[in-house]
Amino acid sequence: MAVTDLIWLVFIISALQPVFQQRYLNAMRAKKIAQIEKKRGSRVILLVHRQETMRMLGFPLMRYIDINDSEEVLRAIHLTDPEMPLDIVLHTPGGLVLAALQIARAIEDHKGKVTVFVPHYAMSGGTLIALAADEIVMCKHSVLGPIDPQIGNIAAASLLKVLEDKPIAEIEDSTVAMADLGRKAIKQIVEAATQFLKDRMSEEEARRVAEKLATGVWTHDYPISPDEALALGLPVVTDMPNEVMELMTLYPQPVRTTGGVEYLPGPRQREPAAEASINK
């Protein structure tokens, strides 16, 4: 074989390797999902957002909950028997309120038990979806997040704070308009979250929790731990099935650059220290 032919062969194999790897991952995911569904007698739906890379230029892009996601999730729910349990695996930084609310309302309307699994984090819109579930399963160190609306890159609650602290004559019209939009957004989110929560607590308590989550008590990226979520009255347990964690390993971060975390794969168990013997 000529050297040029060998070079072309290597090039073709290198070009096709990502395709074969993706097909392998897809097959393994389908197998693991089927395993979980059989074990739990449920429909498993994943909403997993990883950082992605443009194929040609290599720029990292963040994915969020969008309309395409809500269409796919709603389609999966509609194709599921109303009495069958739903297991929703969430791994997301959040996204569009419209899309998150569509998914949350579909979950709320589902007759069968809905369990949301949060292996690592489900922030903002992801938390809004979780509020509609019957049970939220978290790891000891996984987190939820506040659901306070953002107007552009500014928290709606912070815009309202500007109106409180300064005379209206000293505030630009655009800021006043944004603050008005923020007030409406907060009210809408509080009403929606109250609706999702009031099946598990009194309406008064549900509104109190919704307001704490939506009115800027915390920064938007504040990590709400399982203990804090329990203190709020959310239906949280920390008994994460191993199968769900194994499934998440089949969604690796597809960024081409080398990551900053490295370890030997597989579980590790502490071995008892060997007793030293001294021969005299």
Query: What DSSP string describes 27-63?
Result: HHHHHHHHHHHHHHTSEEEEEE---EE-TTT--EE--
**Amino acid 254: pLDDT:** 60
Only one residue has tokens 């979950």, namely 107
State the pTM of this model: 0.83
Q: Which of 28, 39, 245, 219 is nearest to 137 (CA)?
A: 245
For the chain of 280 residues, list the mean pLDDT of each consecutive stretch of 10. Answer: 66 65 83 94 93 45 84 96 97 95 97 97 97 97 96 91 89 92 96 96 96 96 97 96 94 62 72 55
Which two tokens mark 61? 């892009």
C-alpha distances (whole Å) from 179 to each of 159, 196, 207 are 5, 26, 22
CB 96 within 8 A of CB 125: yes
